[in-house]
Structure 1
Amino acid sequence: MASLEFDLIDRYFKEPFGPLLASHATRVPLGIGDDCAMLNPDPGHTLFVSTDTLVSGVHFYPDVAPQDLGWKALAVNLSDLAASGAEPLGFTLALSLPALDPAWLHHFSDGLLRIAQTHRCPLVGGDTTKTNLPGGLSITVTVFGQAPALHSGFPRSSAVEGHRLWAQGLPGLARIGLLLEADQRGLYDTVAMQPDSAVWTALKAGMPQAVRLRACQQLNCPQPQIQLGLQLRNLAAACLDTSDGLSGDVAHIAQASQVAVLIKESALLDAWHRAFPEWIGQLNLNERQWLLDCALTGGDDYGLCFTAAPTADVALRQLSGPHALFELGMVTAGQGVWLQSQGDASLNPVPLVKRSYTHF
């Protein structure tokens, strides 16, 4: 059995990742094959570490394309490095499999290698095990990154009154992708956070193919914003990636910094309108509200959301083109997350009670 396990590691991971690891020999003197990997951050740099686990039936459907799953397994960890302003050094992979499937492993490894090469992040070690647990497949990735020692890492406790709140990407897009994927499998009711399925049915009927494709791509193959994270050094204060949903993620900043954070509905809707003007322009009030709920509570987008002082506005707007940055709200005195409704002439925000996904 041991020889079969080592053959699996060699064939699907050690050999295909070998050239990438060899190109990082200075930073990774020891990689796959020894009891421990050895990482060597650049002089004057500190180490950043993040771990995420993906479980079949919770984070992905059992029939998801293995190439996409390989990509996403590393992408969600690289996104954490991006939210810390760190560059990748390498990663480990712990894979629990219900059975050996050479074709599945080949495609999974291929997707994993593609994103590893894209972000120059070699596989430096890990483990493979057999599992008899319900649902079977479990994937745990630990990623290692580095940043100059003077870089603070954008801690969530760094937001202060007067900061602007910025977001990147299109919050809620992956939620649309999840609902589309669930609908195809007859599982819409198991993932829908909004109770009114009639609105979803109408939205889906008029949804352009471009929106469908981009939403599913966002869900299955998110793009970690490593370069943006590096560019935000000396600009952002508190930062995180939108993994569980915008409202809940922003609440982490508010709680850690002991401040209130105001989100503007109009900013979210404007972001969607810029991306898909014809589609958004024809939605009725109920459909727009449903979309806004998705943007506030839907997870798996893996965009960056951060606070920054007003003095950074000019520099951030210069970055906004390629990264789709937009000003989402502001940080004020108080506590919690507040929502400024688009049609509220009184400009009185209300507490945002809707929260994002939680496991328990």
Structure 2
Amino acid sequence: MEFDLIHRYFKTPFGGLAQANPDTVLFGIGDDCATLRLAPDFHLFTSTDTLVEGVHFFSDDPPRVTGWKALASNLSDLAASGASPLGFTLNLSLPEIDENWLAGFSAGLLDIATRFNCPLVGGDTTSAGSNPLKTLSITVFGQAPASHLGFNRAHAKIGEEVWLSGTPGLARLGLLLEYQRRGRLEQLCKGHELPQVQALLAAMPAKLRQIAVSQLGMPVPRIELGLQLRGLASACLDLSDGLSGDLAHISGASEVSAILFQSSLESMWRKLWPEIDQQANAAGLLKVLLVQTLTGGDDFELCWTAHPNRHDAIQSLKVGLHCVGVIEPGSGIWLQSQGASRERVSSCSFNHFAEIQN
């Protein structure tokens, strides 16, 4: 049964992608080990992530969406390192054989693997036993020229600018909308936060709602941007656990402080929602959006630092890149308002052992 499933949903549909990369995938699914070949004078990059049903994805999420997101989270790590994909392995732990779910999951996985030319080269499928939840683990492999060693988190320097791609916080809005749809919004929003979030969700235009839900379920890893940032960025990471918590990793490793400009973060949201200033409570809505940017997760956008003399080169790369802060002496993450006052930001990240099950 196990080998039949592997052939039907993985080896056969993914075989063409492996065959299209004969220079890198020498042997793939079907042998005890996959054999990958790096380009001459290239280094290997690797990352692994695990997704658990009820923690990282809803039980009733479309399986095609789950398949896409499972690989997207790993490819985002390659993007944050400036590496191009070579291939990936997949481990599935399933409580039962649900062929409809497997077909949808495989299709979503193949969609994103094909888009980023990342062949499936091996893995394992096992029973979850008495555990009723699905567990998905992916390990991704990438490569970059030996002259590029990645964007180490300890390489941020005083005076450098802080940059973001996309609109971090969008995935959190998508999560809030999903909880609202399930009638469980109060589980994510406590006390005074609940009416503020409800007001925000009620004011959001339909197009922004669609974008937010898509960002949550089917984020697009910034592989191309990561490659373009070689030689431009110093420190870089992907935003999987919220801006304040993730940027704190750079701040701590580099022994510096990061100052975020409130006006720049608000401008980022205004570009996505230009009508927001027409709302009666625009200032209050922007404040709630700012909280989502700082504490939300699962955006898989990039955050990096770069010398000011790289500003124009970075800005010319593409639309949707935002310079939102600066690196200074000190420690921690700080938010600077338009009145020049600064407030220390709590480094709130997703806690796998505290977050409620969904």
> TM-score normalized by structure 2?
0.96
1:226 corresponds in structure 2 to 223
> Displacement, 1:356?
2.2
Inter-partner Cα distance in structure 2 for 1:208 and 1:286: 16
Sequence identity percentage:
51
1:270 corresponds in structure 2 to 267
Q: Select which of 232, 239, 244 maps to 1:242.
A: 239
Inter-partner Cα distance in structure 1 for 2:201 and 2:147: 48
Q: Select which of 319, 322, 329 maps to 1:326.
A: 322
Question: Which string of whole-angstrom CA distances, capped at 9 and with x for unpartnered residues, describes residues 16-65 of structure 1?
Answer: 00000001122010100001111111001000000000001110110000
> Displacement, 1:140?
0.4
Question: Which string of whole-angstrom CA distances, capped at 9 and with x for unpartnered residues, describes residues 72-114 of structure 1?
Answer: 0000000000000000000000001111011111111000000
| SS of equivalent to 1:18 | helix
Task: Count matched residues.
Answer: 352
Mean CA deviation greater in 129-138 or 78-87: 129-138
| SS of equivalent to 1:92 | strand
List alignment gaps of at least 5 residues for structure 2.
354-358
The letter of the residue matching 1:300 is: D
Paired residues for 1:63-102 under 5 Å: 63-102=60-99
> Displacement, 1:200?
1.6
Inter-partner Cα distance in structure 1 for 2:114 and 2:190: 36
CA RMSD, 1 decimal: 1.3
Distance 1:124 1:38, change over 3 A: same
Distance 1:40 1:194, change over 3 A: farther
Q: Select which of 273, 282, 294 maps to 1:284.
A: 282
| SS of equivalent to 2:323 | strand
2:352 corresponds in structure 1 to 359
Distance 1:359 1:195, change over 3 A: farther
Contact kept? 2:333, 2:347, Cα under 8 Å? no
Distance 1:272 1:193, change over 3 A: farther
> Displacement, 1:138?
0.6
Question: Following superposition, which runs of at least 4 residues in structure 1 exceed 2 angstroms of deviation?
Answer: 132-135, 189-195, 283-287
List alignment gaps of at least 5 residues for structure 1.
none
Inter-partner Cα distance in structure 2 for 1:157 and 1:133: 43
| SS of equivalent to 2:220 | coil
Contact kept? 1:57, 1:135, Cα under 8 Å? no
> Displacement, 1:195?
4.4
Q: Select which of 91, 103, 125 maps to 2:100.
A: 103
> Displacement, 1:185?
1.3
1:308 corresponds in structure 2 to 306
Contact kept? 1:272, 1:280, Cα under 8 Å? no
> Displacement, 1:189?
2.5
> TM-score normalized by structure 1?
0.95
> Displacement, 1:320?
3.6
